[in-house]
Structure 1
Amino acid sequence: MAGVSGCLKYSMFFFNFLFWICGTLILALSIWVRVSKDGKEIITSGDTGTNPFVAVNILIAVGAIIMVLGFLGCCGAVKESRCMLLLFFVGLLLILLLQVAAGILGAVFKSQSTRLLNETLYENAKLLSGTTNEAREIQKAMISLQTELKCCGLDMGAEDWGNNFQEAKESCKCTDSSNHQCRTYQGVNVTSQTCLSLVKDLFEKNIIIVIGLAFGLAVIEILGLVFSMVLYCQIGSK
């Protein structure tokens, strides 16, 4: 009877350890995109009726399950357990299908997501001059965002703040007077660069990072399916 290849066995263990690390990374990155300190309120607030983070939410679930599967694969390889290896294979196949579904959703609804993001940002621009609790939350997030990105307002610039400009003027200031993007508003030298395009660029870059990581992980998953099935067959033929 054929034995189990020691090289394949420990290669499977090393692969699953790497797989577990990848699962941890994709989970951490997806959560960061979903609850970003600087952009969460701005991107997800508003009554759009649709969640623009559908693909990211799927990847959060994928990352969590991948961590469990990585541990299961390591144990199955070391203990030569056909049951664990079969569970690993089935679970990994389901994960791969989920990632394909997330990719299809991202491609199909890309234009719709962009439209919803634009609508949400323009809607939130109106809240910068508001006084409600919801408006105050948006304003706090915007002040932090303006400080980091060196921009001011979302739609028209400093004018978006209305009577609340005094609270945001420090984050709107343009320190380089020779910069052509500087202008004067209510006696304050502010930047004419609005945050609208910068927020959209930030959103798109984060999504691209997540998608790129997901594709890289898919290659590792396919290798895992092959290794686990070969090892499963070898154990069965002992």
Structure 2
Amino acid sequence: MTAFSCLRWFVFALNLFFWIAGLGTLGVSLWLRFDPAVADYMRINNGLENFYTAVYILMAVGVIMTLLGFLGCWGAWRESQCMLVCFFIVLVVVFCLELACAILAYTHQETVKRYIENSMYDTVYEHYYRRPEYTEIFDRIQTGLECCGVKSYKDWLSSYFSSEASGRSELGIGAANYGRVPQSCCNEDGLRDYPADCGKSFDKMELYTYEPFLHTKGCSEALYEKVYSNLDVAICVSVIIGALQLVGMVLSMLLCCWISSHKEDDRKTGGYYH
């Protein structure tokens, strides 16, 4: 096998990897966009433009990488200079998009975390139980992520839901540690042992008494972990893919120049360069 054939097959294999990586990237971005827990949260909190911007950029990268892999494979297989030049240009665009997406995701971690916490506090304290759409969606979040409140179930004790109008007057209790949480906060044990009144400070006992029957993890942490889970792994994979893309840029130009050079020699000698 000649050096030219080795280079051509290497470029072909590299682009096959890009095609598979593009499908994987597209799959991850679609999961982030349409995951039920994330989608529910975004329905009641539409201020995270930066998060969805990063997701849409990632989606575009996935689509372009899939097409990129096809272009590169076809160009290497057919020895098409036009395809290889297109591959190089698109690869540069994809690399820039990936870099922008990575910067957005990395630099806005704390912003996303603070926004999730603040907007969840707003929902728990002000909207839950007053507005049916907020109540339904936040119940789904608590059930789906097995969480309760913003940082813990204790957040509900200061909420409208657990106030005089909706909780404590019914219980006849006025102390700060008495109140209720939504039934969606209850774990399997709570729903089994207290199917009718799980979450209430019944029997005039403080709510923490029933902690074994509640989800103890806060929903802000649970949602943040879901969005940013395995971020370190994703960054490492992105660095590897970025390095391979740089290699792909160099090799595609080498192959393109080699094809051009050999075609010129063929025209002079009438030979065949394979």
Give TM-score scaled by structure 1 length. 0.80
Distance between the aligned counterparts of 2:23 and 2:57, measured in 1?
Answer: 15
Amino acid at match of 1:135: T
- Matched residue count: 226
* Structural mapping, 1:178-189, within 5 Å: 185-187=200-202, 189=213
Aligned with 2:236 (options 207, 212, 237): 212
Secondary structure of residue in 1 paired with 2:214: strand
By how many angstroms is 1:193 displaced? 3.4
**C-alpha distance in 1 between matches for 2:188 and 2:120:** 18
Change over 3 Å in CA distance of 1:128–1:145 after alignment to 2: farther
Q: Bigger relative contact order, structure 1 or 2, given CA contacts below 8 A and separation 6+? A: 1
Deviations 1:14-38 (A, max 9, x none): 1111110011111111221232223
Deviation of 1:101 (Å): 1.9
- Structure 1 distance, partners of 2:184, 2:95, is 46
- Provide the C-alpha distance between the structure 2 equivalents of 1:193 and 1:106, rounded to a whole number of angstroms: 24
**Matching residue of 1:153:** 149
Counterpart in the other structure of 2:267: none
Query: What is the RMSD computed on CA atoms of the aligned residues?
Result: 3.0
**1:168 aligned partner:** 184
Stretch moving more, 122-131 or 30-39: 122-131
Q: CA separation of 1:196/1:101 partners in 2, compared to 1, >3 Å: closer, same or farther?
A: closer
The match for 1:178 is: none
Query: 2: distance between equivalents of 1:165 and 1:115?
Result: 23
Work out whether residues 128 and 135 of structure 1, in 8 Å CA contact, stay in contact via their aligned partners in 2.
yes
8 A contact 2:75–2:84 mirrored in 1:
yes
State how 1:12-91 maps to structure 2 within 5 Å.
Answer: 12-42=11-41, 45-48=44-47, 50-91=49-90
User: Based on CA coordinates, which of the two structures has the bigger radius of gyration?
Assistant: 2
Shift of 1:60: 1.1
- Does residue 139 (structure 1) correspond to residue 175 (structure 2)? The answer is no
After superposing the two structures, state which structure 1 stretch, 95-104 or 67-76, moved more. Answer: 95-104
Instruction: Mark the CA change 1:31 to 1:215 in structure 2 (over 3 Å): closer, same or farther.
Output: farther
1:231 is aligned, of 255, 262, 266, to 255
Q: Supply the distance in 1 between the matched residues of 2:106 and 2:187 (Cα, whole angstroms).
A: 36
Q: TM-score, normalised by structure 2?
A: 0.70
Residue in structure 2 matched with residue 194 of structure 1 by the alignment: 218
Question: What residue number does 1:93 align with?
Answer: 92
Q: Residue 89 of structure 1 aligns to which amino acid in structure 2?
A: F
